[in-house]
Structure 1
Amino acid sequence: MIKIFRNIRKQFIKDGKTSSYLKYAIGEIALVVIGILLALQINNWNEQSKKNDLREKYLLSLIEDLKQDTTLVKSQYSFYKNDTIKLQSQIRRIKKYKNSIDTVKKIARYEFDTNIQLITTFSNKTYQTLINTGNIDLVDPWLVEELSKLDQLQKLVIDIYSLSMRSYSQILGIYNQRYPFYDDALAGDVLDVIWEQADDKHFLANYNEIVSSKQTTANNIIQMLPPMYSQTARLLKRIEASYPDLFIKKNSK
């Protein structure tokens, strides 16, 4: 193609058709400019298409993260609610049989569940990836703001979890040293002796402390989880409502 244009130019010059040559030259320049503009436009379309595809992937990944978090929060709430109910039932029985130290010891040794569940992180990998890669600009401003608010709430929840767990673990460690509820190194008669020889007043004080600590931990967590769930679920619904075409495409695959 370039060779053809060159031959045409030579022919115009050879024939002395200067005006025709100038018109041709202008036309050729115009064609080159148009070609460059088309190439740039096509390149822009390709880049925008890549950004749109990447944006969709991020949005779908965010949706999966939020779904996982709602499931996690519901599970945690159910665990602590049920655990609190059991703990309160034990406390009522202890109050009923307060004159029978043996009954209290049996409840403490065989029924009191020392375990608590701990959340150390939420499913926020997509949001963190958007931040770390600088691709956060691909997301609409309102969604960036909502994700930032949710991230702050998640950090607060984890901090409260950690503080509650640390306090409870310290009390539990001391309690277990004095009144072992489970230890592979001890069994049967050895554990029986430890519990039988325990000073009643000392035991009651320590047991009251560990029960109170666990109840406080559970109550703190139970209060945090409903607003955590509400904010997560609300954001999930808003994303689904804001990008309906995304779900049509997803379901059609």
Structure 2
Amino acid sequence: MENKTSKYLTYAFGEIVLVVVGILIALQINAWYDASKKEKLKQVYTSNLISDLTKDTIQLNARVKLNEYQLRHLDSVLTFIQHPNTTAEDIKQLGKNDGLAGLRTINTYNDNTFNILKSTGNIALFNDTIIQTIMELNRLQFAAKGVADGNRSSYFNLYGSYSKLYVSEIEGNRSLEDDLWVQVDAQKHASLFISATRSRRHSISRFIELTNEVIAKTEELLGMLIPN
């Protein structure tokens, strides 16, 4: 009787061990499958991020180059204005011939992948260093946009005031244009023209500065994502 009981217990114990081992193997397989699935998803996100960031660097560098050209032109205008021999009439003539230009200080970012990572929580697929760099890049982008929006608003307020008072080129009627500019008070014109020109220069200068910071952080993140 005791021998039968012993055999039964041994058999039962063996069955339990087999069940536990089976469960552990199943859990291991599931864990491996889960890890494999996450790794494949991470690879897709990495590829998409690299594509987005590469496009950004191309666009941002082109925008900086354009604004650097505008900045050099503005510096030459301000150098002329600041010359001791320059008069209000000279500035009036400058306003008549060149007027004021707009601004191209709006950056658009390829941020679809970032937005998906953030909304789904899948940003956790990456290590802490990459996550921190992604979030810092997003912060720099947001800060640069806020500064650019504020500076653009300030400039276009002056630009709007200037446009209401002083006509730009009247195509096909140069004599009317000349007549209108003859009536312009050179002192009042000079004051508004100089203020607007300085505001435009400040907007462009800050845009270049902050965009270069975004470019540097973008390239840093690309260096982390692109395999050596």
TM-score by length of 1: 0.74
Q: How big is each residue's C-alpha offset from its partner over 1:67-88, in whole Å with a ceiling of 9 and x where there is no partner?
A: 2232233122212210011223
- Answering whether residue 32 of structure 2 is matched by residue 35 of structure 1, we say no
Q: How big is each residue's C-alpha offset from its partner over 1:22-67, in whole Å with a ceiling of 9 and x where there is no partner?
A: 6555444444433333322222222111111111112222222322
- Answering whether residue 219 of structure 2 is matched by residue 233 of structure 1, we say yes
Contact 1:87–1:112 (8 Å) recurs in 2: no
Aligned partner letter, 1:54: L
Aligned partner letter, 2:185: D
User: Over aligned residue pairs, what C-alpha RMSD do you find?
Assistant: 2.9
Aligned partner letter, 1:212: R
C-alpha distance in 1 between matches for 2:215 and 2:24 = 51
Hey, what does 2:51 align to over in structure 1? 64
C-alpha distance in 2 between matches for 1:204 and 1:100 = 6
Give the 3-state SS of the residue equivalent to 1:98 in structure 2: coil
Segment drifting more, 121-130 vs 40-49: 121-130
- Answering whether residue 73 of structure 2 is matched by residue 86 of structure 1, we say yes
Hey, what does 2:32 align to over in structure 1? 45
Q: How big is each residue's C-alpha offset from its partner over 1:84-135, in whole Å with a ceiling of 9 and x where there is no partner?
A: 112233344555983583x644532443451211225433332332222111
C-alpha distance in 2 between matches for 1:19 and 1:26 = 10
Task: Pick closer, same or farther for the CA change 1:113–1:79 going to 2, 3 Å.
Answer: farther
C-alpha distance in 2 between matches for 1:26 and 1:89 = 92
C-alpha distance in 1 between matches for 2:112 and 2:182 = 51
- Answering whether residue 94 of structure 2 is matched by residue 133 of structure 1, we say no
Aligned partner letter, 1:70: T
Task: Pick closer, same or farther for the CA change 1:208–1:108 going to 2, 3 Å.
Answer: same
Hey, what does 2:86 align to over in structure 1? 98
Match of 2:103 among 94, 116, 131: 116
Return 5+ residue gaps in structure 1 as ranges: 1-16, 245-253
Aligned partner letter, 2:173: G
Percent identity of equivalent pairs: 28
Hey, what does 2:203 align to over in structure 1? 217
C-alpha distance in 2 between matches for 1:76 and 1:113 = 20
Rg larger for? 1
TM-score by length of 2: 0.81
Task: Pick closer, same or farther for the CA change 1:18–1:99 going to 2, 3 Å.
Answer: closer
Hey, what does 1:179 align to over in structure 2? 166
Give the 3-state SS of the residue equivalent to 1:78 in structure 2: helix
Match of 1:194 among 176, 180, 203: 180
C-alpha distance in 1 between matches for 2:99 and 2:70 = 10
C-alpha distance in 2 between matches for 1:120 and 1:232 = 14
Q: How big is each residue's C-alpha offset from its partner over 1:131-188, in whole Å with a ceiling of 9 and x where there is no partner?
A: 22111221101111122222222222111111110100111111111113268xx863
Hey, what does 1:6 align to over in structure 2? none
Give the 3-state SS of the residue equivalent to 1:115 in structure 2: coil
Task: Pick closer, same or farther for the CA change 1:18–1:92 going to 2, 3 Å.
Answer: closer
Higher relative contact order (CA 8 A, sep 6+): 2
Return 5+ residue gaps in structure 2 as ranges: none
C-alpha distance in 1 between matches for 2:207 and 2:30 = 52
C-alpha distance in 2 between matches for 1:191 and 1:36 = 89
